[in-house]
Amino acid sequence: MTVPTRKQITIDGNEAAAYVAYRFSEVIAIYPITPSSTMGELADEWNSAGIKNLWGTVPLVQEMQSESGAIGAIHGALQTGVLSTTFTASQGLLLMIPNLYKIAGELTPAVFHVAARTVATHALSIFGDHSDVMAVRATGFAMLSSTSVQEAMDFALIAHAATLEARIPFLHFFDGFRTSHEIAKIEQLTEDDLRSLVDERLIQAHRERALSPEHPVVRGTAQNPDVFFQSREAANLFHQACPGIVQKMMDKFAQLTGRQYDLFEYYGAADAKHVVVIMGSGAETVQETVDALNASGESTGVLKVRLYRPFSIEAFLEALPNSVRSIAVLDRTKEAGSSGEPLYLDVVNALFEARAQFTPLPMVIGGRYGLSSREFTPAMVKAVFDELKKDSPKNHFTVGITDDVSRTSLEYSEDFSIESPDTVRALFYGLGSDGTVSANKSSIKIIGENTRNFAQGYFVYDSKKSGSVTISHLRFGPRPIRSPYLITRANFLGCHQFNFLDRYDVLKNIESGGTFLLDSPFGADQVWDHLPRKVQETIIDKRLKFFVIDAGSVARATGMGGRINTIMQTCFFAISNVLPHSEAIALIKDSIRKFYTKKGEEIVQMNYRAVDEALVHLHEVRVPAQASAGKKIPNAWFAQAPEFVQNVTSCMISQCGDAIPVSALPVDGTYPVGTTKFEKRNIAAEVPVWEKDLCIQCGKCVFVCPHSVIRSKVYEPKYLDDSPATFKAMAAKDREFQGLQYTLQVSVEDCTGCSLCVEVCPARNKSEARIKAINMTPYTDGQNEDAKNWEHFLAIPDMARERLKTNSVRGLQGIRPLFEFSGACAGCGETPYLKLLSQLFGERALIANATGCSSIYGGNLPTTPWSKNDEGRGPAWANSLFEDNAEFGLGFRLSIDKQKEMAAEYVKLLESEIGTQLVEELVNADQSDEAGIFEQRQRVELLKEKLNKMDRPEAKRLFGFVDALVKKSIWIVGGDGWAYDIGFGGLDHVLSTGRDVNVLVLDTEVYSNTGGQMSKSTPRGAVAKFAASGKTLAKKDLARMMMTYGHVYIASVAFGAKDEHTVQAFLEAEAYPGPSLIIAYSHCIAHGIDMKTGLQDHKAAVQTGYWPLFRYNPLLAYDGKNPLLLDSSEPKIPLHEYAYRQNRFKMLTKSKPQEAKRLLELSQQDVQKRWKILESMAAPVDSPKTPTQ
Amino acid sequence: MDLKTTYLGLKLRNPLIASASPLSGTVNNLRRMEDAGIGAIVIYSLFEEQITKELQEMNQHLVRGTESYAESLTYFPEPADVLVEPEEYVDHIRQAKSTVDVPVIASLNGHSEGGWVRYAKLLEDAGADALELNIYFLATDFATTSEQIEQRYLNILRSVKSMVKIPVAVKIGPYFSALAHMTKRLEEAGADGLVLFNRFYQPDIDIENLSVIPNVLLSTPQALRLPLRWIAILHGHLKMSLAATSGVHSAQDALKMIMVGADATMLCSVLLKHGIDHVDVILEDMRQWMQEHGYESIQQMKGSLSQKSCPNPEAFERANYMRALKTFI
């Protein structure tokens, strides 16, 4: 056998699978969902770049509105004779289920690639396990599991080749994130490799079976009890033949590449007594552990499941060594209520069916591991093998957690490690914004592609979108790396942010004698005394080699801004000895040239300078023999937090959540609100400072602050008596607040430093115009005075709500937001709307939140921003799914309406005891304004008192729904991906019902949360993922579509252009007694803008006519008026003054200038046309221009 | 009537050159300029900022917010094509050359020593007949000396000259302590011509919104005086070509410039104001004036009123300042 030399490349699992899938396909239908989105994005990029498939044609790539749309399109494409594929995960796969049954039932060859991800249950999780693929195991699809990046490529080929012969469609899956996002050095299959496994006659046969009017057939009939059953059985032979075909392909593949795979692959001692059965990346960990255990005299093995469906009992038994006495089957899923997890049940059944072959029958236990990407380490594998040795091992166990409730968990020792001594293990702590991850990705490529070493990289991100911490785990070594788990014994550790030393136990995972590189603003001779004591002690105790560089200064000096990636990467190569020094530097520069050439020579040169300067500024620190620093003061805010936050949430924040036992967590996913305020992330480099002498108390800064860190209060002067010395106050300017004090206070510890507040401030210093009433100043962690001022400010009572004018920006500033300190991007364009919602209606709001950015910054642990007021009231928030949010919110409405109706029935039933007048008032209360709602609340309290004294069962029952008598505000919130695409059908229906729901569309015109894929809201000419060549068609006009109903209140708002208009629209929408739809312009990082100038985008959007402001209020029509009010003036400036402020449009002018020009011209026409239509629709009703409706 | 002139060694059918402006941005306009009789065309400037700052900004936008949150590791597709602004410019030069027969002069506008000057070579390869190097630099740094500034001009020029074989004209502003000396140094550093003068953009302020308004005003005929004087002074002392720009709005203005010694005069504001076809009007007026006054050729009148050749050379110098003021009073 000759093994041809193939290219060694470093890529992630998604790219590995997509590489093959793309080349085997003619039509690809896609829809983004983490962690599989990359595969679709790559397909689109390759399509855009004109890359051809195996047969010389560029596959057609079509984005759909949902996964159910994607699979529908694929079903159709397959039925009409093309080769087709898609990529998905989790809920996306679940949305495909009905079609999966169809495609399999019709024996249609196809392969779908799945980055397996947790299915949302009590909570959503974007991370990996097998709950999604296990949910489709009954569909009739073959299921092939890859354990590594290499296999993701190899098995993609085997699946695409096998499906054509088997006529069974395949689900090829690999672990989400762990494999989909791990970067590894692999051997790239050539296109000839791909071709050589395929018999083209089978493709022809597929085409011949296709629907065609040239030789018509009917497929998809409705069948009756007489033949359906037999028809289902008619396909048996195909399913039975499938494993054999897969094995044949695996054997052919082995001849081609030297890599032999089997349906079930045994690895370990030939006479193993104890065997673990497992599939997915965990199999690699078990294999590695088996080696280590057997080397120390044990007799263990692992059976890797490759082809899970059809499950070949015969092949399974053949692979299992005869010596086996006990088997642990590990499932990366949980099937609550079953007698065991799926793989376990398959194994038990296989053994039972073959029981005659065994004397005695091996003992089998099942266990769960790794849910939602929970770590699965050699220590855990050892614990499983140790369990197998016991006479009565635990069945249905868990491993990797501490289950102190059902006692399912196995104990394991964290000290057990089998890391190879010749592997370089490097850990890097960085910020998302500093470029640490991209530097590490580059390092992996450098080492992987230029040396004989194997390389692996895996990246852990936190759940915030601003100031997020990243931890990179890199391994390099002379042998293939089979370690799909995080590094706990690093021999190199880089900390790219000095303040992490205070917040995290950064040095926990460095081994003795390791090298520690710190980005420090202090030089080698000064840094020691600035280190926390624990860090000093660890450096001494572990005898670390300690280096510092002031990367921030080097970055600024070389034009790199905040990106220290190249600098820290250079330092890593300079001191880690992974490569000879000069060779490493040459390779870094070479890689810079390769990576940045597309972006311009200047960028290349800038990075070169950063490399050279990094070497000059890197210094070793002489480590003193003694620690010198004092002990760290813990976060004082936690002391005020509820017990749950102190005991549980704080562990998650300090990255120790893995240790939280089962008993400490809620059983049903219910969590307390308002916990972000305890986190105090201190992430801002600059914070706003109030210049009270200039302030006009307009409240605009409070209004725009996306993180609710700027607040104001009007209060009695007595509250200044015990205020901190630096607490600022001034006389309140509003006439009705004469004699009272006014303070504008910033919570610097929660600020992200976005500076939108400064942008919006209208007041300037008369002598020095650059100074405003609020200005950014540098911030260093722990400005205690500011924190004390904030604490004092919070202690001052809020002004009574009824004394504030809640219908104006000025008045609203005194209303406490019940949405605060979210983890949204700094300067987020969505959150000001949510804050407004919380201020206006929060204490009686129920919020249904579609999956997306707002559900992540709104509901991602550890801490959540929706909060409550001093009376304990606040928005009740929940996320159901992405696709069903409008329906979910309508469910709230129906429920509340029904409860209100029942409450009214019951109070009438109890009228004699409650009193006629109170009943009358309760049932007919006018709750159209705040005062009316306040009075009704009082009445309900009175009613409750009365009910408490009654014995009738009806009185007790009424307690369950009596609160529905107080008006509730139902909000359905989501982004454009939901409203325009996946949830549009539901949204349309919900609006059509006429029910009183308020829909808020946070329109960023792109799928922001999954990384910027095109939605139907994306404007013409914008570059987005899935529209790499610029979107060619215009944005969908959702507002105008919904106006056709006539009964829907609709508003188009942009808070940065006209804040009072936004407030007015929210108030009107909520007051309108039917469905309301607010479409809110939301500037977004995915627009390619500097977020601090986001408000200028709002202004330009409105002035160019790109985003006209209007309100469509059906109530006006009842008065004989035109319901449509245009609230902005006709386009004043050309569209390019808006568009070319943003990279999404500008990018196309650099890559396809002519096309950019063409699309801009068309977009300008869109703007004019839309304006004319709106103008004619808004004309006075008696005007002849009025359209007939 | 012979209107021919030589500028940067290029034979021009007349001394009117369209200076760098947005007008030269379309092929159609270039054709119209040629049809209207223009002698040569300087294509709108390729700015250093386009090559450096814009690309840096774009790169920043492409990386902003990336690798922070697991679901959105990037926000844009990886550009399929090379994102380089000058490609468009280089293409335009290529198209210009294939569209018109008059000389096409590319314009590079920058202020720092850096990689951007390498685009000179690309412009030459695209067919540009010459290069106008517009050094656009405001000396606002209190620590930088005049010598350092002058050195920077020379360094930029030298690096451009080292890359191309086509002639290079330098367009400078008037703000040098020793302008005459500076022009000599530029000549020694390899300049083939001087374009006098650059009009630095002068911002306005908005007293309602307390902000600075960056915009550009068109030149007025009054702006003519500054280049007029300096060309008169320099003519005959330098071997390189001289072109006048700023304030040339009529045939008389152009003739004045030639008489003080300009090899060519550039038109910008007048074309923006009256349209491209106005070139023809100016040319016709020039011919008529020359005829009326008995001139046979441009060559004949070139430099006839330069400081060297005029009857009262002191009028171009400071001594004349007091007299002029007194007269005015």
Convert the pLDDT of each residue in A947-979 to its tens digit.
Answer: 999 999 999 999 999 999 999 999 999 999 999
What 8-state DSSP symbol labels residue A782? -
For B212-250, b where at least 16 C-beta lie within 10 A, e where not — what string? eeeeeeebeeebbebbbbbbbbbbeebebbbbbbbbbbb
Chain A, chain B: beta-carbon pairs less than 8 Å apart: 157
Q: Is the separation of the CB atoms in A812 and A804 below 8 Å?
A: yes
In this prediction, residue A221 carries a pLDDT of 96
Chain B positions with Cβ closer than 8 Å to A: 51-52, 55-56, 58-85, 88, 114-116, 118, 210-211
In this structure, are A373 and A440 located in the same domain?
Answer: no
A947-956: which pairs have CB atoms within 8 A and are 24 or more residues apart?
A: A947/A910, A950/A910, A950/A913, A952/A910, A952/A913, A954/A906, A954/A909, A954/A910, A955/A910, A955/A913
Q: Using the beta-carbon criterion (under 8 Å), do A1009 and B78 form an inter-chain contact?
A: no
Domain final residue pick, A965, A993, A1018 = A965
Asked whether residue A471 is domain-assigned, the answer is yes
pLDDT one-digit tens code per residue, A205-251: 999 999 999 999 999 999 999 999 999 999 999 999 999 999 999 99
Span A68-73, average pLDDT? 98
8 A C-beta contact, residue A306 and residue A278? no
Supply the pLDDT for residue B85.
59
Select the residue of B68, B76, B78 nearest A465 (Cβ to Cβ).
B68
- With 50 as the cut, is the pLDDT of residue A56 above it? yes
Do A741 and A842 meet the contact criterion of CB atoms below 8 Å apart?
no
Question: Rounded CA gap, A75 and A87, in Å?
Answer: 14
Mean pLDDT, rounded, for A682-704: 95
Structure tokens, B60: 């920043």
Report chain A residues whose CB lies below 8 A from the CB of B81: 598, 1151-1152
A66 & A151 share domain:
yes
Q: Helix, strand or coil for residue A365?
A: strand
The answer to whether A372 contacts chain B (CB < 8 Å) is no
With a CB-CB cutoff of 8 Å, which residues 338-357 of chain A face chain B? none
Q: Are residues A664 and A686 in the same domain?
A: no
Distances (CA, A) of A394 to A328, A347, A363, A380, A400: 10, 17, 11, 14, 15
Laid out side by side, the sheet with A710-715 consists of A710-715, A741-746, A730-731
The single-letter code of the amino acid at A1082 is S
- Does pLDDT of A1149 surpass 90? no
* Residue A1082 within a domain: yes
Angle (CA) A1078 A1080 A1081, round 5°: 155
Q: Is the pLDDT of residue A182 over 50?
A: yes
pLDDT, mean over chain A: 95
Asked whether the beta carbons of residue B77 and residue A769 sit closer than 8 angstroms, the reply is no
Q: How far away is chain A from the Cα of B60, in angstroms, using its nearest Cα?
A: 9
Question: Which among B70, B76, B77 has the least Cβ separation from residue A461?
Answer: B70
Tell me which chain A residues have a C-beta less than 8 angstroms from the C-beta of B84.
600, 1150
Q: What pLDDT is recorded for position B115?
A: 66
A672 Rama class: left (phi>0) / alpha (psi -120 to 50) / beta: beta
Residue A766 sits in a domain whose CATH number is: 3.30.70.20
Domain presence at residue A506:
yes
User: Which of these three, A388, A410, A432, is where a domain ends?
Assistant: A410
**Closest approach of B211 to chain A, Cα-based (Å):** 8
Identify the burial level of A421 via C-beta atoms within 10 angstroms of its C-beta, where 0-12 means exposed, 13-18 middle and 19 or more buried: exposed
**pLDDT tens digits in sequence order for chain B, 329 residues long:** 899 999 999 999 999 999 998 899 999 999 999 999 999 999 999 888 777 777 778 878 888 888 889 999 999 988 766 556 577 789 999 999 999 999 999 999 888 777 677 889 999 999 999 999 998 778 888 999 999 999 999 999 999 999 999 999 999 999 899 999 999 999 999 999 999 998 777 788 988 888 888 777 777 878 889 999 999 999 999 999 999 998 899 999 999 999 999 999 999 989 999 999 999 999 999 999 999 999 999 999 999 999 988 888 888 876 555 555 555 54
E-strand ranges in chain B read 5-7, 10-12, 16-18, 40-47, 104-110, 130-135, 168-172, 193-196, 204-206, 211-213, 241-244, 264-267
Residue A1181: what pLDDT? Answer: 72
With CA atoms as reference, the chain A residue closest to B74 would be A1011
- Structure confidence at residue A594 (pLDDT): 85
Residues A554 and A458 in one domain: yes
Q: What is the CA radius of gyration of chain B?
A: 22
Kindly state whether residue A878 falls inside one of the protein's structural domains.
Answer: no
Question: How many C-beta neighbours within 10 Å does residue B51 have?
Answer: 25
A62 and A188 together in one domain = yes
Closest CA to A85 of A95, A69, A93, A74: A74
CATH topology of domain B5-328: TIM Barrel (3.20.20)
Order of strands across the sheet that contains A469-477: A8-12, A183-187, A454-461, A469-477, A424-431, A490-495, A510-519, A545-549, A619-620
DSSP letters, A171-191, are EEEEETTTTTS-EEEEEPPPH
- A103 and A25 fall within a common domain: yes
Q: Is the pLDDT of residue A137 over 80?
A: yes
CA of A768 vs chain B CAs: smallest distance (Å): 10
CB contact under 8 A, B75 and A1086: yes
Give the model's pLDDT for residue A374: 97
Chain A 1117-1156, CB below 8 Å of chain B: which residues?
A: 1143-1144, 1146-1147, 1150-1153
Average pLDDT rounded to a whole number, residues A47-53: 94
Contact, A980 vs A987, CB < 8 A?
no
For residue A979, give the DSSP letter. I
Hey, which residues of A are catalytic here? 34, 67, 117, 1009
- A100 and A243 inside one domain: yes
Interstrand relation of A969-975 and A876-878 (parallel, antiparallel or unpaired): unpaired
Domain boundary among A380, A410, A440: A410
Token digits of residue A1015 = 């939605």
Q: Is A523 on the interface with B (CB under 8 A)?
A: no
pLDDT the model gives residue A781: 57
> Domain containing A1134 — which CATH number?
3.40.50.970
In this structure, chain A runs to a length of: 1189
pLDDT tens-digit series, residues A1032-1047: 999 999 999 999 999 9
Residue A81 DSSP class: T
Give residue A292's pLDDT.
Answer: 97
> Do the chains contact at B55 and A48, CB–CB below 8 Å?
no
Give CA–CA dist A655/A658, Å, rounded: 8
Same domain, A252 and A316: no
Task: Give residue A1's pLDDT band: very low, low, confident or very high (50, 70, 90).
Answer: very low
Q: Is A1075 exposed, middle or buried (0-12, 13-18, 19+ CB in 10 A)?
A: buried
Mean pLDDT, residues A60-83 = 98
Assessment of whether the complete model's pTM goes beyond 0.90 = yes
Q: Does the residue A996 lie in any domain?
A: no
Please write the tens of the pLDDT for every residue from A422-456: 999 999 999 888 889 999 999 999 999 888 999 99
Q: Which residues of A touch B68 (CB under 8 A)?
A: 431-433, 461, 464-466, 468, 470
Q: Three-class SS string for A260-300? A: CCCCEEEEECCCCCEEEEECCCHHHHHHHHHHHHHHCCCCE
In terms of domains, do A1062 and A948 share one?
A: no
In contact, A1160 and A1135? CB cutoff 8 Å:
yes
Q: Where does residue A702 rank: exposed (0-12), middle (13-18), buried (19+ CB within 10 A)? A: buried
Query: Domain residues for A406?
Result: 262-410
- The DSSP annotation for A4-66 comes to ----EEEEEHHHHHHHHHHHT-SEEEE---TTTHHHHHHHHHHHHTT---TTS-PPEEEE-SS
Residue A8 pairs with which residues in a beta bridge?
Answer: A187
Residue to test with chain B: of A182, A599, A1005, A1161, most B Cβ within 10 A: A599
- Closest among A687, A756, A759, A763 to A730, alpha carbons compared: A763
Q: Map A794-821 to HEC letters.
A: HHCCCCCHHHCCCCCHHHHCCCCCCECC
Judge if A132 and A45 occupy the same domain. Answer: yes
**Do A235 and A97 fall within a single domain?**
yes
Please name every residue paired with A113 in a beta bridge, in sequence order, or none if there are none: A87, A172
Q: Give dist(CA B237, CA B50) in Å, integer.
A: 36
Q: State how far the Cα of A375 lies from the Cα of A488, in Å rounded to an integer.
A: 11
Give the model's pLDDT for residue A1034.
97
Evaluate whether residue A993 is within a structural domain: no
| Structural domains in chain A (count) | 7
Q: Does residue A137 fall inside a structural domain?
A: yes
Separation of first and last alpha carbons in chain B: 42
In a domain, A292, yes or no: yes
